[in-house]
Homo-oligomer: A and B are copies of this chain.
Amino acid sequence: MNQTTRVPRGEARARLIEAARILVRRKGFAATSLDDLCAAAGVTKGAFFHHFASKEALGVALIDDWTETTGAMFAAHPYNSLPDPVDRLFGYLELRRQILGQPIADFSCVAGTTVQEAFETSVSMRAAAERSILSGNDHVRSHLVEALAAHPLPGITAESLAHLFQVAVQGGIVLAKAKGDASPAHEAFDHLERYLRLLFNRPA
Is A59 part of the binding interface, using a Cβ–Cβ cutoff of 8 Å?
A: no
Is A36 part of the binding interface, using a Cβ–Cβ cutoff of 8 Å?
A: no
Is A169 part of the binding interface, using a Cβ–Cβ cutoff of 8 Å?
A: yes
| Residues of A bordering B, CB below 8 Å | 26-28, 30-31, 104-105, 108, 111-113, 115-121, 126, 129-130, 132-133, 156, 160-161, 163-164, 166-175, 177-180, 184-185, 187-188, 190-191, 194-195, 198-199
Residue of B nearest to A191 (CB): B164
Report the Cα distance A119→B108, complex, angstroms.
11
Contacts of A195 on B, CB cut-off 8 Å? 191, 194-195, 198
Are A126 and B178 neighbours in the complex by a CB distance under 8 Å? yes
Q: A105-B120, A163-B184 are in contact. Are A126 and B30 (CB under 8 A)?
A: no
Question: Chain B CB within 10 Å — which of A104, A116, A170 has the most?
Answer: A116
Which of B121, B161, B178, B194 interacts with A26 by CB under 8 Å? B121
A134, chain B: closest CB distance, angstroms: 8
Which of B26, B105, B167, B190 interacts with A184 by CB under 8 Å? B167
Are B171 and A119 neighbours in the complex by a CB distance under 8 Å? no
